[in-house]
Chain A
Amino acid sequence: MNKTTDNKRTGHNRRDVLGYGIAGLIATAGLSLGSKATAQLAGTLRIGLNARDMGVLHPHVATGGADVSIIASVFSGLVRYEPTRVNITAIQPDLAEKWEMSDDFMTHTFYLRKGAQWQKGYGEVTSADVAFSLSNVRDNEQSTFRPLYGNIDTVETPDAYTVVIHLKKADPTFVTAMANWQGGFVICKKASDEMGDRYRTEPVGSGPFQFDSYTPQDNVIVTAHADYYGGTPKLERVVYSYVPDETSRRFAFVQQELDIIQGASNQDWLAEVIKSTPGNPTVDLLGPERSVNLHMKATEEPLGNPLVRQAIAHAINRDDFEQYYGPVFKGTHSSIPPSYFGGLKTEDIPEELKYSFDPEKSRALLAEAGLPDGFEISTVVSERGDYLALAQIVQERLAGVGITLKLDILDHGSWVAAIIKEKRGTLVWSISSRYPSAEYLMREFFLCGARVSQPGGVQGFAEYCNEEFDEAYAEAIASADPEVRAAGFAKAQITALTDLPVVPLGAMSTPVLRQDYVDLGYEIADGEDVTSLPYLYHVTPATTV
């Protein structure tokens, strides 16, 4: 028999091709028919997260939108925001029963509730845990929240249930730093000491749900914390599944295999999912809005030239994003969303600092900068849909004025590591929400100490430093008078817009979907503005399915 012909036969032949065809047809048929919808699972809440995998579950270092939503159900803070609102007026007692502040705003005293238990038998939550927790976040090199806690001078614990915090500078709103978010989450000293690095991925907190298991790239399961001081949760467990692909997440939600999902930031997508899902599902556009920015690294040529940065700003059309994302996205002209306290309204920004879409002006600025033919620049970008779409839309607009942007697409985790640890990225897109007051984003993006290249730097991707900005910021946060604070924040924003280290693109809400059989345990009125820091609903002891 012919040897060479035999060898060829090991590749493909008509039978194989026919086989592929039939397999393809069966797969398509299966996809279109779908399997029978799975009803809700009693006692189990199934949540689909927009992430590939768990990053870290230590509240003082986690920044990923998927990690923080799990952390929010495992940990608690001294005080908490009453669900659906994130505001100083919504602050309620949590681990602390009451608190007081000295007249000079320098000393803040918290009185802990007695009998609050750590999960997994680690004993009672005491003032020693709180003191440990605060020093952990303040002195933690890996924490991007430490600037907020850098203002803490000393922490005294006169007894097991009293914590006295002395500040370096007056801060009348310090209580928000103690709320159930990021560095405000109290960690367990005993568990952290005993477990070491393991505490980062198998956390022990004092919240309503305790960590049960983690399956890489699959899920994290938390179970009810029976000794929770707020009462044993009604749910037995919550399964947080990692479903990075929007289409898979949509499919699982429509099939009712997931009860709550993080949606895609796209109006068409949301409308289609709502239409296809049985029952009467709800989509909520959660605030605080995520501020969408393009950081331009001043230490990378030619971005050091302000004319080039202005040219980039004028090349971008905010209408593009509004069209692409739909009502989820609102174009803004300041990095602090107008819905935040201290955020500049568009009408309060001088016309020349709005950097509106004007390709002619952009080209003229490039010519003035000595780059009449434009230039080529490359950067890293996350593969996540919302980031990649921003980058591709900007890429096209920049091409229109002669700037060639090359994108090196990385998975989201690698991208975060690249821009923060490796300090890569000439142009960095950020989509971030914080407690809705200007100082939070300013502290992380614009202060001199925030520069990524600095030894304590956080998210100053633009390598921006202007003392005028720092001074205006400092004046604002030292005052208890809302008007003085707002004026200081406004001054700082005008300074930042004049220097233009960052192009403000817009503000985006976070779409989250829930099935009609999910009872969150608190009411959300129709048309109510829901704010929730963890990019997801708060899962409370009263939540049921």
Chain B
Amino acid sequence: MISSQNLNYDVPAPKSGLLALPIKFYKRVRSLPMSGQIGVLILIFVLGTALIGPLLVPHDPVSQSLINRNKGFSAEHWFGTDAFGRDVFSRLVVGTRHTILLTSSALLLSAGLGILIGLVAAYNRSNWVDSLICWTMDILLTFPMVIMGVVVVAILGQGTLNVGIAIAVAFLPRMVRMSRGVALTLVTSEFVEAARAIGASPSRIVIRHLLPNVMIEMSSISTLWLATAIKTETSLSFLGLGVQPPTPSWGLMVREGLSTLYINAWPSLLPVIAIFITIIGLNLVVDGTQDSLNPHTKDH
């Protein structure tokens, strides 16, 4: 049983200089099972690609060279070229940035809003505010993620920003439900009772006492949902509703490569592999973290 108190890992950071944080991170990673460590490595690789990859790519990802269409792997074009003669490696790397940045910022937006609404609902658990929020979110939850995304894009129009909003909206009910659930276990706990007893205002209780605890729990669930968000973004882009050409994104690359699937499969296949590896990485990290926290499996 994880008690509410030990959820609050507010350990003061050791004041031993710049290396403290990386060392702490390293120790945490080492405490994970092997699969989790591999997952972390994969994620570092993917995030690193997203952050600095676009600065290092050998070619402009949108620049066409129609004379070099559908070329195979070569020293000039590491992953070959697509139907427009664009460098697939460069597109894949730059596409990583679009896909990862878009999905993680959408998820952050969704988590920010969702946690706030969830906390308000949990704090007002016995009155109509909670019922209203829960009912609304339950209705929204009945829509599958991609359908919800399609509906939002249909209303707002296509484009990168709107896809971000669509993903955020699609995740909102899940965020609200989850954060409300976590917060509900906290509102009745002793430290909240104590805060209330010394006369803390509702907003202070929500922000100072509930929020930090809920955040920790939500951050790990959000990592897992990032995998779903990536799938949603690539699905929307695949359907032609996401990032618009010529900007590369994984889903769009899969779609664009389909017409030449039997002539040159790599432009479609490589982003699929990238999506696959990223999602595996995320799952390994989350599974590993769970195992290391779970008293039943921790020592095995």
Contacts and interface: CB of A to CB of B under 8 A. Distances in A.
Interface of A: 2-5, 7-8, 11-14, 16-17, 24, 245-247, 250, 264, 266, 268-269, 272-273, 276, 319-320, 323-324, 383, 385, 388-389, 392-393, 395-396, 399, 406-409, 411
Contacts of A385: 259
B263 A268 contact: yes
Contact of B66 (A2, A5, A246, A323): A323
A204 B224 CA distance: 57
B62 interface: yes
A268 B2 CA distance: 61
A413 to B, nearest CB: 14
Contacts, number: 104
Contact of B263 (A272, A389, A392): A272
A50 to B, nearest CB: 12
B185 interface: yes
B59 interface: no
Given A11-B224, A269-B259, A2 B1 contact: yes
A298 to B, nearest CB: 26
Contact of A269 (B62, B178, B263, B287): B263
Given A3-B185, A5-B290, A324 B258 contact: no
A2 B294 contact: yes
Given A12-B227, A14-B35, A247-B259, 18 more contacts: A4-B182, A5-B293, A7-B181, A8-B286, A11-B221, A14-B284, A17-B283, A268-B260, A269-B260, A269-B262, A276-B262, A324-B83, A383-B240, A385-B259, A395-B246, A396-B246, A399-B62, A407-B245
A5 B294 contact: yes
A393 B66 CA distance: 9
B228 interface: yes
Contacts of B69: 268, 323-324
22 contacts: A2-B2, A3-B181, A7-B178, A7-B221, A11-B228, A12-B227, A12-B286, A268-B69, A268-B70, A269-B260, A272-B263, A320-B64, A320-B66, A323-B67, A392-B84, A393-B84, A395-B245, A406-B244, A407-B244, A407-B245, A408-B158, A409-B244
A434 B290 CA distance: 67
Contact of B287 (A14, A246, A319, A389): A14
Contacts of A14: 35, 283-284, 287
Interface in B20-74: 35, 62-64, 66-67, 69-70
Contacts of B280: 17
A409 B220 contact: no
Interface residues of A, dominant DSSP: helix
Nearest to A250: B262
A16 B181 CA distance: 24
Contact of B225 (A11, A268, A319, A407): A11
A264 B259 contact: yes
Interface of B: 1-2, 35, 62-64, 66-67, 69-70, 83-84, 157-158, 178, 181-182, 185, 217, 220-221, 224-225, 227-228, 240, 244-246, 258-263, 276, 279-280, 283-284, 286-287, 290, 293-294
A385 B258 CA distance: 11
B216 to A, nearest CB: 10
Nearest to A16: B283
Contact of A247 (B62, B245, B258): B258
What 5 A-B pairs have minimum CB-CB distances, sorted nearest first?
A: A323-B66, A396-B64, A11-B224, A246-B259, A247-B261
Contacts of B260: 268-269
B103 to A, nearest CB: 15
Contacts of B2: 2, 4
Nearest to A378: B244
B241 to A, nearest CB: 9
Nearest to B62: A396
A392 B182 CA distance: 49
A13 B227 CA distance: 12
Given A324-B84, A409-B158, A8 B63 contact: no
Contacts of B283: 12-14, 16-17
Contacts of A319: 66
Contacts of B67: 323
Contact of A272 (B157, B240, B262): B262
Contacts of A5: 290, 293-294
A408 B293 CA distance: 48
A273 B263 CA distance: 10
Most buried by A among B69, B70, B261, B293: B261
Contacts of A324: 66, 69, 83-84
Contacts of A411: 240
Contacts of B182: 4
B64 A393 contact: yes
Contacts of A17: 279-280, 283
Nearest to A24: B276
A357 to B, nearest CB: 13
Nearest to B261: A247
Nearest to A385: B259
Nearest to B286: A8
A149 B36 CA distance: 74
B228 A392 contact: no
Contacts of A383: 240
A319 B280 CA distance: 44
B287 A13 contact: yes
B156 to A, nearest CB: 13
A395 B84 CA distance: 12
Most buried by B among A396, A406, A411: A396
Contacts of A408: 157-158, 244
Nearest to B67: A323
A319 B85 CA distance: 14
A245 B84 contact: no
Contacts of A273: 262
B246 A409 contact: no
Most buried by B among A13, A276, A392: A392
A392 B245 CA distance: 8
A392 B258 CA distance: 16
A41 B294 CA distance: 61
Nearest to A397: B64
Nearest to A405: B246
A246 B70 CA distance: 17
A409 B261 contact: no
B181 A409 contact: no
A7 B2 CA distance: 14
A247 B240 contact: no
A300 B2 CA distance: 64
A352 B162 CA distance: 44
Given A395-B246, A396-B63, A407-B244, A245 B287 contact: no
A246 B63 CA distance: 25
